Chain A
């Protein structure tokens, strides 16, 4: 393995920035959920907003930027014909909340969409998400105020929800672990990266071949409307125009993280015999559950202790460094959701082939709400955002086949301690455990509670710059 070149072949100017860029210097984010009240006014607003939307062109370094994504209901509200909406993939058309999809994702009980703040039952009013990136909180507030004024004065859109997020300077998510490492690198983006992380463009951008050497299913215009000269042709050669090219599907889930509960659990499970707290053991157990040290360093490379500093080397395989899970447990959050070169008992080549067919680009940001009456600290969590072209085989697959699967590898009843949800009705759910592969015998940590709760979510279409422009012409 090695860091390899990844020559630029994509038209980065046509791709909304967030797919390729993490905006690591634009620490502050905000999310406006919008309802279209008047299609013509909304389209004009999109047109006016377009110059503020950053593209993936890496040579620009904006101080602030916007991005736009749409639900299927939103596209209909803008006036996209029914036939053209039916051309989109099923999960996007139906949205995140359907009975069968909730079973797959584990959205029941405390995660039930009925309890969500947004998405789910509120779907009919959720049309567009406007995403803000800014350097400082003050700048963000000014930016938001300006955009809010524009939206309100247009009269064409209603802001139904406003949320803020941020990236900590140390890149840690609320549990205190370095986040955003081990992202796939989009082939053709011009960004170099570890060989194993450079993934075919079509896994993340519509209109290109994916890891199956095929074009992902892309919405092709069934009924001509608007200025179709703005659209590309179907790369597979039909005469139809491609709404998808250079776009992607965006998964957005607001995930509350129960940070105090997480750490008090880790503390309880690792106390010394005399009842005192064992700080090292506590951090080690939490790290085993996550699959990395708080600094982001890999357990496979640093099994005994956190080397600290910034993770400089994420270019490793489990097959070589930890085939038996003795360093980084099979059931850890990271290893199960990206098994790299050691999936099942398959050889590294076959494992990588499969792992690369189930990758996502994550663009999550932390959030912290102000304390409610009497609370010391407000709710905190993650605005989980990810991009993929095939919702079933990427995001949903990872959540169901890997996070929620309690029998992965040699495990007998272990779900992902962080984001896993047991199947509803599974009589073994309450005996769930976390297994730490060890010698001479495995160690088991049991009596878990859940450390995250889903508070909202929806699937969005994240169009290219030219399709954003096209949408203003329909």
Chain B
């Protein structure tokens, strides 16, 4: 079973090279085409990937951030980068601090450089866990082929059982479906782990309650929200973001936040751990707190923890995505992003905040940075499609006898 992993680098740019590297990245493509100088299609294990420029602030210089969601290990991916995109790496990283001199750029020195800059991803959500890029693409093809079969033969079948038997026979005989017969099961909720998780939560509940009260009275009262409605964002800030949106079925979001200090930072680490833990053990069925459009999302600290970034790869538009979260689980957003400077004022940590939707979207835009290079391996496939296809495949190829209800459910997915 494939496990998707997060790869992340933060690399500081030479102070006088920020414009130059930005220009290089801008030529890389969002969405990233096959003929790009940094074409991710050369690495078939990549689901989504991006390069962004994190602007300098008072304390830290500008840096590049690289994030990829890949099949296999971090180390394998870094090796792939060095092997398949060495020129692209040089073209970008030549503008960065401590990158090997031109006469000293070898496989080994590039690898060492990247290994030195890799960073852990403390908050990670995978919308369709345990699926490789090739599995996702194969399952899309499978669903289409089954639809064609149903189109051609559906009128002959009187009952669900008859339809199921015919489809089952058809796929058993077709060698094109050999891959689907390999042992596979959908990711499962981990009840035991969650039991202990909930137990732990109950134990620390008093602490959490104290946290909520302290944050509410001592932090949020002093907080300075940006207070900008989404219609009040400077056009110059919006323009580069807008030109990169709504080009494929999916969109990307790259946000950079300044972190509030003290207890807020402790809380942030806790809630990111909370999000990551529940993502890995509970939200494995294609939705995060009711939002069913996220392929991959991550939260990573940068600049020694003084800032953090959020990257998401999702279906639909920015407005639809943020709106979806507000409709379903604004409190979760508040718990995490309340730690970012400028966030709409929250009420006892979980209330208000994101629920002030226009101000929340304004904050979202103000903390968003352009994503000059962005890649999706399956740009026209929505997350729910991916999830449904895997259910279809698992029940058709990897299950024993199905009940009548399960058969009906299977047929509905075609």
Q: Which residues of A contact B (CB under 8 A)?
A: 88-90, 98-100, 103-104, 212, 214, 216-217, 324, 344, 346, 350, 353-354, 357, 392-393, 396-397, 400-401, 405, 407, 410, 412, 423, 425-428, 437, 439-444, 446
The complex places the Cα of A392 from the Cα of B290 at a distance, in Å, of: 22
Contacts of B405 in A (CB 8 A): none
Stretch at the interface among B69-77, B101-109, B319-327: B319-327
Judging by beta carbons under 8 Å apart, are A410 and B243 in contact?
no
User: Among the listed stretches B125-133, B180-188, B199-207, B352-360, which one makes contact with chain A, having 4 or more residues with CB under 8 Å of it?
Assistant: B352-360
Task: Assess whether A407 is in contact with B384, with CB atoms less than 8 Å apart.
Answer: yes
Tell me whether B385 and A412 are in contact (CB under 8 A).
yes
Asked if A89 contacts B388 (CB within 8 A), the reply is: no
A425 to B242, CA, bound (A): 18
Chain A residues near B157: list those with CB within 8 A.
440-441
What residues of A have a CB within 8 angstroms of the CB of B28 in the complex?
none
In the complex, B317 has a CB within 8 A of chain A = yes
Contact of A400 among B144, B320, B381 (CB under 8 A): B320
Q: Once the chains bind, are B150 and A324 in contact (CB under 8 Å)? A: no
| Chain A binder among B40-48, B84-92, B244-252, B258-266 | B244-252
B270 on the A face (CB < 8 A): no
Could you tell me if A212 and B317 are in contact, using CB atoms closer than 8 angstroms? no
Q: Which residue of A lies closest to B151 (CB)?
A: A444
Does any Cβ of A come within 8 Å of B137's Cβ? no
Closest to B317 in A: A400
On whether A401 and B408 interact (CB within 8 A), knowing A100-B243, A426-B380, the answer reads: no
A439 and B356 contacting across the interface, CB-CB below 8 Å:
no
Name the contact of B243 in the complex, choosing from A99, A426, A440 (C-beta under 8 A). Answer: A99
**Partner of B147 from A350, A396, A440, A444 at Cβ < 8 Å:** A444
- A100 contacts which of B144, B245, B381 (Cβ < 8 Å)? B245
Contact call A212/B357, Cβ cutoff below 8 A: yes
The answer to whether B243 and A217 touch across the interface, beta carbons within 8 angstroms, is no
Which residues from chain B contact A344 at a C-beta distance below 8 Å? 292
Q: Pick the residue among B154, B231, B380 that contacts A443 (CB under 8 A).
A: B154
Task: Give min CB distance, B38 to chain A, whole Å.
Answer: 21
| Residue among B150, B162, B388 making CB contact with A410, cutoff 8 Å | B388
Chain B residues with Cβ under 8 A from A89's Cβ? 231
Residue of A nearest to B315 (CB): A407
Which A residues lie within 8 Å of B246 (CB)? 100, 103-104, 400, 423
Per DSSP, chain A at the interface is loop
A442 to B410, CA, bound (A): 11
Closest chain A residue to B31, Cβ basis: A425
CB atoms of A444 and B150 under 8 A apart: yes
Bound CA–CA A41/B238 (angstroms): 37
Bound: A217/B356 CA distance, A: 11
Q: How far is the CA of A431 from the CA of B339 in the complex (A)?
A: 46
Among candidates B159, B249, B413, residue contacting A423 with C-beta atoms closer than 8 Å: B249
Q: By the criterion CB–CB under 8 Å, are A439 and B249 in contact?
A: no
Once A393-B323, A401-B320 are accepted as A-B contacts, the answer to whether A437 and B382 lie under 8 Å apart by CB is no
B292 and A407 within 8 A (CB)? no
Across the interface, name the chain A residue whose C-beta is closest to B292: A344
Chain B contact residues: helix, strand, loop or mixed: helix
A393 to chain B, nearest CB (A): 6
Check A100–B147 contact: CB distance below 8 A: no
Q: Is the CB of B327 within 8 A of A357?
A: yes
Min C-beta distance of B234 to chain A, whole Å: 11
**How far apart are B275's CB and chain A's nearest CB, in angstroms?**
21
What's the minimum C-beta distance from A416 to chain B, rounded to whole angstroms? 15
Given A346-B290, A357-B323, A393-B357, 14 more A-B residue pairs with CB atoms under 8 Å apart are A88-B231, A90-B230, A217-B229, A350-B290, A392-B230, A393-B319, A405-B316, A407-B249, A407-B382, A407-B385, A423-B247, A440-B160, A441-B150, A442-B411
**Which of A90, A98, A400, A444 sits near B231, CB closer than 8 Å?**
A90
List of 4 A-B pairs having minimum Cβ-Cβ separation, nearest first: A407-B382, A440-B163, A440-B160, A100-B242
Given A214-B357, A440-B163, A440-B411, also A397-B150 (CB < 8 A): no
| CB pair B323 A437 closer than 8 Å | no
Least CB distance, B312 to chain A, in whole angstroms: 17
Q: Indicate whether A410 sits within 8 Å of B154 (C-beta atoms), given known contacts A353-B327, A440-B160, A444-B147.
A: no
Report the minimum CB–CB distance from B87 to chain A (whole Å): 28
User: How far does the Cβ of B216 sit from chain A's closest Cβ, in whole Å?
Assistant: 20
Cβ-neighbour of B154 out of A103, A217, A353, A441 (below 8 A): A441
Contacts of A88 in B (CB 8 A): 231
A427 to B249, CA, bound (A): 11
Residues A442 and B414 in contact, CB atoms below 8 Å apart:
yes
- Determine the chain A residues whose CB is within 8 A of the CB of B59 once the complex forms: none
Q: Provide the residues of chain A in CB contact with B317, threshold 8 Å.
A: 104, 400-401
Chain B residues in 8 Å Cβ range of A427: 380
Between A and B, 9 residue pairs with Cβ closer than 8 Å are A212-B357, A214-B357, A396-B319, A400-B320, A439-B411, A440-B158, A440-B162, A440-B163, A442-B154
Decide if A401 touches B316 in the complex (CB within 8 Å).
yes
Residues of A within 8 A of B238 (CB): 90
Q: Give the chain B neighbours of A412 by CB distance below 8 A.
A: 143-144, 147, 385
Indicate whether B412 reaches chain A with its CB closer than 8 angstroms: yes
From A98, A393, A400, A441, B414 is in contact (CB under 8 Å) with: A441
The residues of B that contact A440 with a CB separation of less than 8 Å are 154, 157-160, 162-163, 408, 411
Q: How far does the alpha carbon of A354 sit from the alpha carbon of B248 in the complex, in Å?
A: 24
Contact digits for B211-249, partner A, Cβ 8 Å, 1 yes 0 no:
000000000000000000111000000100011011111
A426 near B249 (CB under 8 angstroms)? yes
Contacts of A393 in B (CB 8 A): 319, 323, 357
Inter-chain contacts of A354 with B (CB < 8 A): 327
- A441 proximity list for chain B (CB < 8 A): 150, 154, 157, 163, 411, 414
**Measured between alpha carbons, how far is A397 from B246 in the docked complex, in Å?**
12
The reply to whether B380 and A428 form a contact with Cβ atoms under 8 Å apart is yes
Q: Give the complex CA separation of A1 and B61 in angstroms.
A: 60
Chain A residues in 8 Å Cβ range of B411: 439-442
Contact B412 A437 (CB under 8 A): yes
In whole angstroms, how far apart are the Cα atoms of A384 and B151 in the complex?
36
Q: Which residue of chain B has the shortest Cβ distance to A98 in the bound complex?
A: B242
Q: CA–CA, A446 to B144, complex, Å?
A: 13
Which residue among B231, B323, B328, B413 has the maximum number of chain A CB atoms within 10 Å of its CB? B231
What separation, in Å, do the CA atoms of A410 and B286 have in the docked complex? 13
Contacts of A396 in B (CB 8 A): 319
Give A86 Cβ to nearest chain B Cβ, in Å.
9
Please measure, in the bound complex, the distance between the C-alpha atom of A425 and the C-alpha atom of B376, giving whole angstroms: 15
- Give the CA-CA distance A218 to B144 in the complex, in Å: 47
Whole-angstrom CA separation of A305 from B400 in the bound complex: 40
User: A439 to B144, alpha carbons, bound, how many Å?
Assistant: 19
A437: chain B residues within 8 A (beta carbon) = 412
Of chain A, the residue at the smallest CB distance from B328 is A350
Known: A407-B382, A440-B157, A444-B151. A423 touches B163 (CB 8 A): no
Q: Is the CB of B231 within 8 A of A214?
A: no
A425 touches B316 (CB 8 A): no
Chain A residue contacts of B319, Cβ below 8 A: 392-393, 396-397
Residues of A within 8 A of B316 (CB): 400-401, 405
Residues on B with C-beta less than 8 A from A90 are: 230-231, 238
| Shortest distance from the beta carbon of B198 to any chain A beta carbon, whole Å | 23
Cα distance A443–B163 when bound, in Å?
A: 13
B323 in contact with A423 (CB, 8 Å): no
A471 vs chain B, min Cβ distance (A): 21
How far is B151's CA from A132's CA once the two chains are assembled, in angstroms? Answer: 49
Contact A214 B358 (CB under 8 A): yes
Contact partners of A214 in chain B: CB under 8 A: 356-358
**Smallest CB separation, A222 vs chain B (Å):** 11
Bound CA span A396–B245, Å: 14
